[in-house]
Amino acid sequence: MLSNMERLNPLLKRAACMAACLACWVISAHANDLDDFNRAVEAAMSHRRVAAEYLRTGNIDLAVLEIEGMREAWGKVSTLPRPAAFNDQQRYTGTILEIAASLVGISLVLNLGRPDVARESLGTVRASLSRLRRENGVAVLADCVLDANIAMDALFAHDKEPDWESVSAGAESYRGTLQRCDGMAPAGIRSHPEFRRLIDGAHAGLAQIPQAAAARDRDLLHRLLIELRSFDHLLAFRYG
């Protein structure tokens, strides 16, 4: 007669096989959850980018339409299951609901004639979502572009009264961030002519900063910073 262990061995092997298959399915499902989340968030944030640009240029009516589109798209984000990458259920749910409430508030302040507050609130939404992703190790191009925008803000602060040593350091910081964004961009974006024009154009401008710093040439620095700011705005508008 077979021993109990001999009888159990085939069953144990079968159970192990089933567990391995189940683990693979769960990992795949979790990956799909994150992909679905990222796609849904990008659909909503594309409205945010356009709305912010309309508010910047004073086109309030079109900004209102984009914010309505964002609220609808964010509603779809709210219906998705929490991706496994976001470990803290309370933190995740709190952020999703906080952004939904912020969008309602943005519509209200626009009705009150405060586009400046609305634009600032859209920036807060962007930062809040970025913090959630970073806390959970979810890396996306939009958050790198946010870092690039912040680095450019610091560099542009030297437009009027440049601290030349800080100008050089700021240019290197911005260059490094752009390189990181270029490296992490999905292949389809990285090779796209528009993305290449913005990244390569910014690098070309940054390459001239040392010349301006060495000569203490404020006029050249000003022209370069204006050009870099233009690339920065377009990068945020398209990918931020």
Rounded CA gap, 19 and 15, in Å? 6
Domain boundary among 101, 120, 135: 135
Number of domains in the chain: 2
Q: Note whether 201 and 172 are same-domain residues.
A: yes
Q: What percent of the chain has pLDDT over 90?
A: 85
Give the per-residue pLDDT at 46: 96
100 belongs to a structural domain: yes
* Residues 98-150 pLDDT 10s: 999 999 999 999 999 999 999 999 999 999 999 999 999 999 999 999 999 99
96 belongs to a structural domain: yes
Q: Note whether 151 and 224 are same-domain residues.
A: yes
Phi, psi of 20 (to 5 degrees): -65, -40
Q: Note whether 56 and 119 are same-domain residues.
A: yes
Give the per-residue pLDDT at 32: 63
Q: Note whether 145 and 207 are same-domain residues.
A: yes
Q: Note whether 145 and 235 are same-domain residues.
A: yes
Q: Note whether 47 and 121 are same-domain residues.
A: yes
Q: Note whether 111 and 71 are same-domain residues.
A: yes
Contacts 24+ apart (CB under 8 A), 151-157: 151/177, 152/228, 152/229, 152/232, 155/225, 155/228, 156/225, 156/228, 156/229
Contacts of 78 (CB under 8 A, 6+ apart): 96, 97, 100
Q: Note whether 156 and 224 are same-domain residues.
A: yes
20 belongs to a structural domain: no
Structure tokens at 98: 């906080």
Contacts of 138 (CB under 8 A, 6+ apart): 34, 38, 85, 86
Q: What region, left, alpha or beta, does residue 163 occupy, with left being phi > 0 and alpha being psi -120 to 50 degrees?
A: beta
Q: Note whether 114 and 182 are same-domain residues.
A: no
Q: Note whether 128 and 187 are same-domain residues.
A: no
Give the per-residue pLDDT at 23: 38
Q: Note whether 129 and 204 are same-domain residues.
A: no
Give the per-residue pLDDT at 12: 38
Q: Note whether 126 and 75 are same-domain residues.
A: yes
Give the per-residue pLDDT at 233: 94
Give the per-residue pLDDT at 158: 94
Query: Can you give the CATH number for the domain in which 129 is found?
Result: 1.20.120
Q: What is the DSSP letter of 213?
A: H
Rounded to two decimals, the pTM is 0.81
Identify the segments of the chain with pLDDT beneath 70: 1-32
